[in-house]
Amino acid sequence: MTERVTRLLGLGLKAGRVVIGVSGVRSGLQRGEFACVVLASDAGERTHEKVTRLAKGKGVPLITGPQADELGAKLGRPPVQAVGVRDPALARGLMADS
């Protein structure tokens, strides 16, 4: 499952349809930009709390992804705790696996 999630997120990144990082995800959630949010399975408690509360308040589904270092490595970045998905079709593909 995690391989499919990271592969789909990688495609979304190339297409410019995902936002990487907690601050970008929080901003996007506040603006109602996301179809879903992927949180690293080992995201910090503070990150988890902030992103989860905001996503639930906006009615945005949350998906638990791989650990932050694996998620970042697959996306060509340092460890990543949160990824926001703008594309509804991509979000459906991710949620079908979770």
pLDDT 10s digits, 8-23: 999 999 999 999 999 9
* pLDDT, position 96: 87
Domain 2-97 class in CATH: alpha beta
Average pLDDT over residues 21-27: 96
> What are the strands, taking DSSP E only, across 1-98?
18-20, 36-39, 62-64, 82-85
Phi, psi values for residue 77, rounded to 5°: -130, 170
pLDDT of 97 > 90? The answer is no
pTM exceeding the 0.85 threshold for the entire prediction: yes
CA distance 55 to 80: 17
Q: Hey, what are 65's tokens? A: 């992804």
For 47-87, the pLDDT digits (tens) are: 999 999 999 999 999 999 999 999 999 999 999 999 999 99
The one-letter amino acid at 47:
T
